[in-house]
């Protein structure tokens, strides 16, 4: 009788009702602040880059690496950041990421060597790789299913705000030359906000992944150099004339990534937890989403980089004038991000 007619307590135990963290909305504000800072820093950097290049006497290739160093660090460590959060706690890894990003912002505002700036931007990307998976995971685990659509719409809107404010605020701050800092303000601007996040993180709920298995360090040892040897040569290849060593790096990268895919497939087949669950690529909507993201973001960042240089170096726009050119794009980004959840509810995922 007990098995056929379970009590309410038994039903609750078998199918628990999701419990939302009571301070989740305060925590949301706090964990979205690093996301805003990362977005602000990147777009402020974009506007300030020509001024920075002239100030530190960097070549165009070095300026390109100063800008793309962040993406390089983020790309090679994003998977590791998510796994570390699952194993050692997402709040802990979020704190480490914010601390690293804040320290690099402080250091970036003090140095004047192009090579050091490239390294700082790479470490900023590595720090962001510790931040972004934790923010998304905490949002996913701290809110009720009925709240998640609105929460992730806010997340998209924050990125839109970072885009809009980053380009405009970065241009204005550099143009005003506050305290004679010039382009350095785009780094130092983030420091007090990073400290604020670290002080407030205790109110954020802790969460971990469900997997008890450790990290596939051999897979990490394959994918990080594989991605590094893929992205770095593509970044500097044209400037280097696509020399033989660049093609060699690309070939080695493809081989490393191919071995990584085969080993991840083997881990899945033998019941071990893979670093990347390749079975997710069997889902059609996921494949379409990945391709869409790649096309949109590669096109968007390339367009912004070229347009910024064209306006400042070609048309001789001032930094403040350049930042205002991006205002309509930023407003559109912000508005559509905020409205996205309602658009999906009305017209579905393919809207």
**At 313, is the pLDDT very low, low, confident or very high (cuts 50, 70, 90)?**
confident
The mean per-residue pLDDT over the stretch 18-40 comes to 80
Model confidence at 211: pLDDT above 60: no
pLDDT of residue 5: 45
**What are the residue boundaries of the structural domains of the chain, listed by start?**
22-211+319-347
For residues 183-201, average pLDDT: 89
Q: Is the pLDDT of residue 339 over 80?
A: no
Cβ atoms of residues 70 and 226 within 8 Å: no
Distance of CA 168 to CAs 32, 113, 226, 328, Å?
Answer: 20, 26, 36, 11
Fold entry, domain 22-211+319-347: Growth Hormone; Chain: A; (1.20.1250)
pLDDT value at 66 more than 60: yes
Percent of the chain with pLDDT over 90: 16
Distance between CA 33 and CA 35 in Å, rounded? Answer: 5
Higher pLDDT, 299 or 84: 84
pTM: predicted TM-score of the whole model, two decimal places: 0.77
Q: Average of pLDDT values for 291-302? A: 78
**Helix boundaries (H) for the chain:** 8-14, 24-56, 60-88, 90-108, 114-142, 145-176, 185-188, 191-200, 217-236, 244-269, 284-309, 319-325, 327-347
Question: Percent of the chain, pLDDT > 70?
Answer: 88
Q: What is the pLDDT of residues 217-270, one digit of tens each?
A: 888 888 888 888 887 887 777 667 788 888 998 999 999 999 999 998 888 888
Rounded Cα–Cα distance for residues 190 and 116 (Å) = 19
| Beta-carbon count within 10 A of 325 CB | 16
Which 8-state DSSP code applies to residue 311? I
Mean pLDDT of 5-22: 47
Q: Which of 3-17, 167-181, 195-209, 328-342 has the lowest mean pLDDT?
A: 3-17
User: What is the CB neighbour count within 10 angstroms for residue 103?
Assistant: 16
- pLDDT reading at 9 higher than 50: no
Give the angle subtended at the CA of 304 by the CAs of 301 and 307, to the nearest 5°. 145
Q: How confident is the model at residue 120 (pLDDT cuts 50, 70, 90)?
A: very high
Per-residue model confidence (pLDDT) at position 20: 63
The answer to whether residue 6 scores a pLDDT higher than 70 is no
Can you give the pLDDT at residue 102? 94
Which of the pair, 14 or 63, is modelled with greater confidence? 63
Buried b (16+ CB within 10 A) or exposed e, 136-175: bbbbebbbeeebeeebbbbbbbbbbbbbbbbbbbbbbbbb
What is the average pLDDT across 304-330? Answer: 78
**Tokens (6 digits) for 331:** 């407003």
């Amino acid at each position: 009788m007990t098995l056929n007619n379970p009590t309410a307590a038994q039903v609750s135990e078998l199918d628990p009702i999701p419990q939302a963290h009571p301070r989740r909305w305060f925590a949301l504000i706090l964990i979205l602040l690093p996301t805003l800072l990362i977005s602000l820093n990147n777009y402020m950097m974009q506007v300030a880059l020509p001024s920075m290049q002239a100030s530190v006497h960097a070549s165009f290739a070095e300026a390109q690496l100063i800008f793309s160093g962040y993406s390089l660090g983020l790309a090679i460590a994003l998977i590791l950041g998510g796994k570390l959060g699952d194993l050692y706690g997402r709040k802990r890894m979020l704190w480490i990421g914010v601390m690293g990003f804040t320290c690099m912002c402080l250091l970036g505002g003090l140095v004047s060597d192009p090579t050091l700036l490239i390294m700082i931007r790479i470490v900023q990307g590595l720090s962001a790789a510790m931040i972004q998976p934790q923010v998304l995971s905490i949002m996913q685990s701290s809110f009720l299913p009925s709240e998640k659509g609105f929460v992730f719409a806010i997340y998209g809107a924050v990125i839109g705000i970072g885009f809009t404010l980053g380009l405009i605020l970065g241009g204005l701050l550099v143009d005003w030359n506050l305290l004679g800092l010039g382009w350095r303000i785009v780094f130092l601007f983030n420091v007090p906000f990073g400290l604020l996040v670290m002080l407030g993180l205790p109110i954020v709920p802790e969460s971990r992944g469900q997997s008890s298995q450790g990290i596939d360090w051999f897979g990490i040892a394959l994918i990080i150099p594989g991605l590094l040897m893929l992205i770095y040569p593509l970044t500097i290849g044209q400037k280097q004339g696509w020399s033989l060593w660049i093609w060699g790096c690309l070939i080695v990268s493809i081989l490393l990534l191919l071995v990584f895919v085969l080993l991840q497939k083997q881990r899945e087949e033998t019941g071990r937890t893979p670093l990347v669950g390749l079975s997710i690529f069997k889902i059609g909507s996921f494949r379409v989403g990945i391709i869409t993201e790649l096309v949109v973001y590669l096109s968007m960042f390339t367009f912004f980089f070229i347009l910024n240089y064209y306006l400042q170096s070609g048309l001789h726009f001032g930094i403040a004038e350049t930042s205002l050119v991006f205002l309509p794009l930023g407003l559109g980004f912000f508005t559509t991000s905020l409205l996205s959840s309602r658009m999906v509810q009305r017209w579905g995922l393919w809207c």
